[in-house]
Copies of this chain bind each other. A is one copy, B any other.
Amino acid sequence: MRPVSIVATGMTPFGVHSELTIRDLARQAGQECLAGAGAGPGQIEALYLGNFAGPSFVGQNHLAPYVGSALGLQGVPCTRFEAACASSGSAFFHAYGAVAGGLYDLVLVIGVELMTSQSTARTTDILASAGDLRGEVKAGATFPSLFAMIARRHMYEFGTTREHLAAVAVKNHANGAKNPLAHLRKEITLEKALSARMISDPLGLYDCSLISDGAAAVLLCASESAGRFTDKPVTVRGIAQASDHVALDEKQDITTFPAVKAASEKAYRMAGVGADDIDFAELHDCFTIAEIVALEDLGFVPRGQGGPATAEGFTSPHGEKPVNTSGGLKSKGHPVGATGVAQIREVVEQIRGNCGERQLKKANIGLTENLGGSGATCVVGIFSA
């Protein structure tokens, strides 16, 4: 296995793009990425496309060659990866493996989703298809209600409060307000978060991530040739994907995600670092409770301490371990299939020092955690210059 670097990134604004098609969105992010590296489509040896539910949201299957040909790629493998909200994290993981294993020298990874074309009710149904349809979903569960059960149990086990959950939302909205590509650039107060209408008790409106359109892209190459494309390559130090049961009721304990633990343990080992060595992270805050559980599963804080640590500023930009400087899924937005690559883009641009108003002072080693469903897939990456 040889070292692999990211040499360019691209990202559309996240938000409502009713004027664009899913193909347009993916092409925009891909073209920005190629331009950033000064690379032409003829140099790209494969396209790895993450997309959760294009067929359900816009009716289009077979998306990878559809996007590939729009970018001018021809003849090379163009493949779609679907792993619920971890679709593009999974695409990235497989792209990394192919370059590390010597199959290709230069590959493009794009994540894309166009969600706002459907009603909220239909969107909730489509998202629910990432759960166990014959079990939990048949019984009436949607993703807000599944994560509400996780939050409620976390409260019971560890004394986590609604204020702890709201602290995640307040921090991520403050971060997202500084990100020009974020969907909802709006700071909120703790009071506003706590008094918002209830979605699924104990999760209120501000505990839930956004329904967004968007795309993100990264260009991966063998580190030995990264210098051809950029002066600021960022190297993949560790990367792993792990799986677990889809249904919440098949899990032993719903306050921890074994796939996050498995993926992060592998990624730490591969990178030769521990949780304490990570300077900052982009975590999968599909709901505020998910960021709190991730802090614990990744070993950033002891079990049960995710809530208090967040309330005390541990994960704020000036805290010990800044989390979701991009605004996270909460404020940047969550076009499902784009999220994994968008997380990686934020970490790469922080390490490169390109994050403007939200740039961290210390951003040497960054981690991404991309979760699919209620923990059935997880991809963890560790990156540094």
Residues of A within 8 A of B (CB): 1, 21, 47, 52-53, 55-56, 58-66, 68-69, 73-84, 90, 93-94, 97-98, 100-103, 129-134, 240-246, 250, 258-259, 262, 372-373, 376-377
Q: Provide a sorted-by-A list of 13 A–B residue pairs whose CB atoms are within 8 angstroms.
A: A60-B133, A62-B84, A65-B244, A66-B132, A68-B243, A69-B243, A69-B245, A69-B250, A80-B81, A80-B83, A81-B82, A100-B101, A100-B103
User: Do B102 and A1 touch (CB < 8 A)?
Assistant: yes
State the Cβ distance, A373 to closest chain B Cβ, in Å.
5
Other than A64-B243, A78-B243, A97-B103, give 20 A-B pairs with Cβ distance below 8 A.
Answer: A47-B243, A53-B55, A55-B56, A56-B56, A58-B133, A60-B133, A61-B82, A62-B130, A62-B131, A63-B82, A65-B246, A69-B243, A69-B246, A69-B376, A75-B243, A75-B244, A77-B242, A77-B243, A98-B98, A100-B101
Contact of A373 with B62 at beta-carbon distance under 8 Å, contacts A79-B241, A259-B75 already known: yes
Contact of A76 with B129 at beta-carbon distance under 8 Å, contacts A56-B56, A64-B83, A83-B64 already known: no
Compute how far the CA of A75 lies from the CA of B242 in the bound complex, rounded to whole angstroms. 5
State the Cβ distance, A83 to closest chain B Cβ, in Å.
6
Contact of A97 with B101 at beta-carbon distance under 8 Å, contacts A61-B129, A66-B376, A134-B21 already known: yes
Contact of A79 with B62 at beta-carbon distance under 8 Å, contacts A74-B243, A243-B73, A245-B69 already known: no
Residue among A79, A103, A133 with max Cβ neighbours from chain B (10 Å): A79
Neighbouring B residues of A63 by C-beta, 8 Å:
82
User: Do B82 and A62 touch (CB < 8 A)?
Assistant: yes
State the Cβ distance, A97 to closest chain B Cβ, in Å.
5
Interface of chain A: mostly helix, strand, loop or mixed: mixed
Which residue of chain B has the shortest Cβ distance to A336 in the bound complex? B61
User: Do A60 and B129 touch (CB < 8 A)?
Assistant: yes
Contact of A62 with B376 at beta-carbon distance under 8 Å, contacts A56-B55, A74-B243 already known: yes
Neighbouring B residues of A373 by C-beta, 8 Å:
62, 65
Residue among A47, A55, A90, A98 with max Cβ neighbours from chain B (10 Å): A55
Compute how far the CA of A1 lies from the CA of B100 in the bound complex, rounded to whole angstroms. 11
Contact of A246 with B62 at beta-carbon distance under 8 Å, contacts A21-B134, A97-B101 already known: yes
State the Cβ distance, A61 to closest chain B Cβ, in Å.
4
**B76, B93, B241, B244: the one within 8 Å of A69 (CB):** B244
Instruction: Count identical subunits in the complex.
Output: 2
Neighbouring B residues of A74 by C-beta, 8 Å:
243-244, 258
**B53, B65, B101, B245: the one within 8 Å of A243 (CB):** B65
User: Do A55 and B244 touch (CB < 8 A)?
Assistant: no
State the Cβ distance, A313 to closest chain B Cβ, in Å.
34
Which residue of chain B has the shortest Cβ distance to A101 in the bound complex? B101
Neighbouring B residues of A129 by C-beta, 8 Å:
55, 59-62
Compute how far the CA of A19 lies from the CA of B78 in the bound complex, rounded to whole angstroms. 35
State the Cβ distance, A17 to closest chain B Cβ, in Å.
15
Neighbouring B residues of A101 by C-beta, 8 Å:
1, 97-98, 100-103
